[in-house]
C-alpha cells in the first residue's frame, strides 16, 4: 500500500476511480498476472490468518434431486447447448452446464427416449464419449426453450441452496484481530484510536456510518475495510446463476468477483478453451465441489453518486428473458460501500427506507416482472461514507439500525506533519520543515482546518510548477506558498 494516499475519494470521485488501490495480494495458488502485479508483502501472521478460515464448499450433486433442478430444466440446458454447437460429446455438455455426467445423463436418456437427440458416434468407454446431435423434433424443442429463456451456460442453483450457502459464509461473527486489521491499513497514517473503533464494527458484521469533513480519508478508510475482508476474510462461494419461480437470475460477475479456483478448474478440464484432442476431452473430474459455483474472495462492491433505487432491484432483460441480480446481492458475503452518501440521484431517506427492514432482518425482497416476490439474504457489511452530518440525512429510527458511527476529524498538527512526510516519501521529495511551518502559519493558524488530502494536492501543484519552470521538484517555502495561493479558495471581501 506504499502508493496509498492518506485521503482521496471524498467530494464525488468518479465511480471508475473508486476501486483504485483497493485490493491487497490474494493468497491463492498460481495467481494471475493481474494479481501478481497488485501483490504486496504481508506478514507471516497475516497469511496464516487468511488461511485460517477455509470456505465451506457446496457439495457436488449425485442425482437430479440433489441438483435441485427439474428434468425439464436440465433437458432445456442440453437442447440449447446442442442447438448452438451442432453436436457435442457428452463430456463437453457436462462441462458447459457444470453438472456431473451421471446427473446430466438422466436428461440425455430422456431426450433420447423422446427422439429429441440422436447419437452420431461413440466409443466403447461409455455414453460420456458419445457425440450427441439434435433431431428435427429436438431443434423445434430447442427453439421453444430459447423463446422461454435465452440464458445458456452453467446450470442455475435453486434459490434454497443459495440461501443456505449465504448463511454459512455471512460476515457476521467473522474473525478480526488488531494484527490483521492493522495489516489492511498498512501505509496509512491512522488517527489515534481509530482501529479500536473499527475492529468491533467489523466483528459485529453490522452497518457502519463513516462521516466527517471532506478530504480526511473516509473513502480510503472504508476501502481499507473492504480490503481487510477481501484479503483476510477467507473465501466464499457464489453461483453463476440461481433459479426460482421458473426464472433464472445471474449472480456471478467477473468484474466484481475475484476467483481463486482457476487453477483447480483447469486441472479438472473445466476451461473455456478447447482440449488438445477429442479423446482427452473424455476425462471429466467432477470432484467433491459443485461446479455451478465459483470460489472467490469476499467481494467489495462500491457505488457513488450514480446509485438509484432501480439499481437495487432485479434487472430484467426483456430480449434474453432472464434477470441479473442487483449490486447488493452480488455483494453478499462481502462489503457494500455507498461512497459520498447523501449526494446520490436517489434521496437518502428513500434509500434508507428501502433498506430499513433488510438492515434489521438480514433479508431483502425481490420482485419479478410477474409481480411475484421472493426473499434473498442480505448478508454483507454495509458502509456509508459521507461528508454530511448523519442527523441531516436520516432520522433517529434509521440511525439506530446503523450500529456503528465512526467520525473522522481533521488531523491535528503532528498527525498532519506525518501525512505530509509520507506523501513526500511517496513522491521522492525531501520534506522541508521550514516550508511546512510556513504553510501552517499562513493558513491553518488562521482558522482553516487542515485536511488529510492537502499534502497530496499541494505537492501535485508544486510538481506542476517545477515542471513548467524546468526545475527539480522540491519543497520550499516559496513553492508551497505559491501552491497554496492557487489551491485554497478565498472568498472575495
pLDDT at 224 over 90: no
CB 380 within 8 A of CB 333: yes
Helix axes 433-442, 477-487, angle to 10 degrees: 40
Q: Give the pLDDT confidence score for residue 181 in this predicted structure.
A: 86
Q: Which of 152, 8, 154 has its CA nearest to residue 95? A: 154
CB 228 within 8 A of CB 199: no
Q: Which of 177, 170, 173, 145 has its CA nearest to residue 70? A: 145
pLDDT digits (tens, 9 = 90+) for 173-201: 678 888 888 888 887 888 778 888 888 88
Least confident of 35-44, 84-93, 108-117, 238-247: 35-44
Give 127-185 as a DSSP string: GGGPEEEE-HHHHHHHHHHHHH----SSPPEEHHHHHHHHHHT-STT----HHHHHHHT
Q: Which residues pair with 315 in a beta bridge?
A: 324
Report d(CA 448, CA 380) in Å as an integer.
Answer: 38
Helix axes 101-113, 90-97, angle to 10 degrees: 120
Q: Which residues pair with 385 in a beta bridge?
A: 210
**Sheet arrangement for strand 322-324:** 157-158, 241-244, 247-250, 322-324, 315-317
Q: Give the pLDDT confidence score for residue 295 in this predicted structure.
A: 94
Cell matching residue 91? 463430456
Q: Give the pLDDT confidence score for residue 11 in this predicted structure.
A: 40
Question: What rounded mean pLDDT belongs to the chain?
Answer: 82
Q: What is the DSSP letter of 217?
A: S
Cell matching residue 45? 501472521
Please give the span between the terminal C-alpha atoms of the chain, in angstroms, as a whole number.
Answer: 43
Most confident of 105-109, 271-275, 389-393: 105-109
- pTM for this model (two decimals): 0.80
Report d(CA 202, CA 334) in Å as an integer.
Answer: 11
| Mean pLDDT, residues 291-312 taken together | 89
Q: Where residue 35 falls among pLDDT bands split at 50, 70, 90?
A: very low
Q: State phi, psi for 399 to the nearest 5 degrees.
A: -60, -30
Q: State phi, psi for 74 to the nearest 5 degrees.
A: -70, -45
Report d(CA 5, CA 340) in Å as an integer.
Answer: 18
CB 249 within 8 A of CB 166: no
Residue, of 278 and 111, whose pLDDT is higher: 111
Report d(CA 118, CA 130) in Å as an integer.
Answer: 10
Report d(CA 107, CA 72) in Å as an integer.
Answer: 8
Q: Where are the alpha helices (DSSP H) in 98-135?
A: 101-113
Report d(CA 20, CA 146) in Å as an integer.
Answer: 40
Amino acid at each position: 500500500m506504499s502508493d496509498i494516499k492518506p485521503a482521496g475519494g471524498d467530494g464525488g470521485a468518479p465511480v471508475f476511480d473508486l476501486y483504485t488501490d483497493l485490493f491487497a495480494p490474494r493468497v491463492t495458488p498460481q495467481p494471475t498476472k493481474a494479481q501478481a502485479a497488485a501483490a504486496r508483502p504481508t506478514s507471516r501472521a497475516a497469511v496464516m490468518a487468511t488461511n485460517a478460515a477455509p470456505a465451506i464448499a457446496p457439495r457436488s450433486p449425485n442425482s437430479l434431486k440433489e441438483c435441485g433442478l427439474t428434468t425439464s430444466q436440465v433437458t432445456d440446458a442440453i437442447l440449447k447447448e446442442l442447438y448452438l454447437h451442432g453436436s457435442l460429446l457428452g463430456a463437453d455438455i457436462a462441462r458447459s452446464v457444470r453438472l456431473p455426467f451421471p446427473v446430466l445423463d438422466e436428461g440425455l436418456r430422456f431426450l433420447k427416449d423422446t427422439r429429441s437427440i440422436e447419437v452420431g458416434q461413440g466409443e466403447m468407454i461409455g455414453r460420456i464419449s458419445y457425440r450427441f446431435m439434435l433431431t428435427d423434433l429436438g431443434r423445434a424443442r430447442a427453439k421453444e426453450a430459447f423463446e422461454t429463456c435465452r440464458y445458456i451456460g452453467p446450470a442455475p442453483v435453486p434459490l434454497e441452496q443459495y440461501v443456505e450457502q449465504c448463511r454459512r459464509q455471512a460476515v457476521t461473527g467473522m474473525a478480526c484481530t488488531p494484527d490483521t486489521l492493522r495489516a489492511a491499513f498498512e501505509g496509512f497514517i491512522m488517527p489515534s484510536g481509530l482501529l479500536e473503533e473499527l475492529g468491533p464494527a467489523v466483528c459485529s458484521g453490522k452497518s457502519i456510518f463513516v462521516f466527517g469533513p471532506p478530504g480526511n480519508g473516509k473513502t480510503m478508510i472504508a476501502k481499507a475495510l473492504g480490503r481487510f475482508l477481501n484479503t483476510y476474510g477467507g473465501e466464499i462461494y457464489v453461483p453463476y446463476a440461481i433459479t426460482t419461480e421458473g426464472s433464472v437470475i445471474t449472480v456471478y460477475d467477473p468484474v466484481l468477483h475475484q476467483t481463486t479456483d482457476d487453477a483447480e478448474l483447469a486441472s479438472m478440464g473445466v476451461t473455456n478453451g478447447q482440449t488438445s484432442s477429442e479423446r482427452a476431452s473424455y476425462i471429466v473430474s467432477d470432484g467433491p465441489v459443485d461446479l455451478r459455483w465459483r470460489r472467490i474472495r469476499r467481494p467489495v462492491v462500491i457505488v457513488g453518486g450514480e446509485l438509484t433505487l432501480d439499481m437495487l432491484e432485479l434487472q430484467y432483460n426483456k430480449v434474453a428473458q432472464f434477470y441479473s441480480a442487483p449490486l447488493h446481492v452480488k455483494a453478499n458475503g462481502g462489503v457494500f460501500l455507498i461512497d459520498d452518501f447523501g449526494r446520490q440521484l436517489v434521496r437518502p431517506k428513500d434509500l434508507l427506507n428501502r433498506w430499513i427492514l433488510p438492515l434489521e432482518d438480514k433479508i431483502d425482497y425481490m420482485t419479478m416482472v410477474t409481480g411475484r416476490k421472493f426473499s434473498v439474504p442480505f448478508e454483507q457489511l454495509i458502509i456509508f461514507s459521507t461528508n454530511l452530518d448523519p442527523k441531516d440525512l436520516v432520522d433517529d429510527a434509521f440511525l439506530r439500525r446503523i450500529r456503528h458511527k465512526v467520525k473522522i476529524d481533521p488531523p491535528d498538527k503532528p498527525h498532519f506533519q506525518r501525512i505530509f512526510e509520507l506523501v513526500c516519501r511517496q513522491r521522492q521529495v525531501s520534506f522541508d520543515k521550514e516550508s511546512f511551518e510556513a504553510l501552517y502559519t499562513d493558513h491553518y493558524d488562521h482558522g482553516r482546518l487542515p485536511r488529510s488530502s492537502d499534502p497530496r494536492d499541494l505537492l501535485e501543484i508544486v510538481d506542476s510548477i517545477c515542471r513548467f519552470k524546468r526545475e527539480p521538484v522540491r519543497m520550499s517555502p516559496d513553492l508551497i506558498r505559491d501552491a497554496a495561493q492557487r489551491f485554497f479558495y478565498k472568498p472575495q471581501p
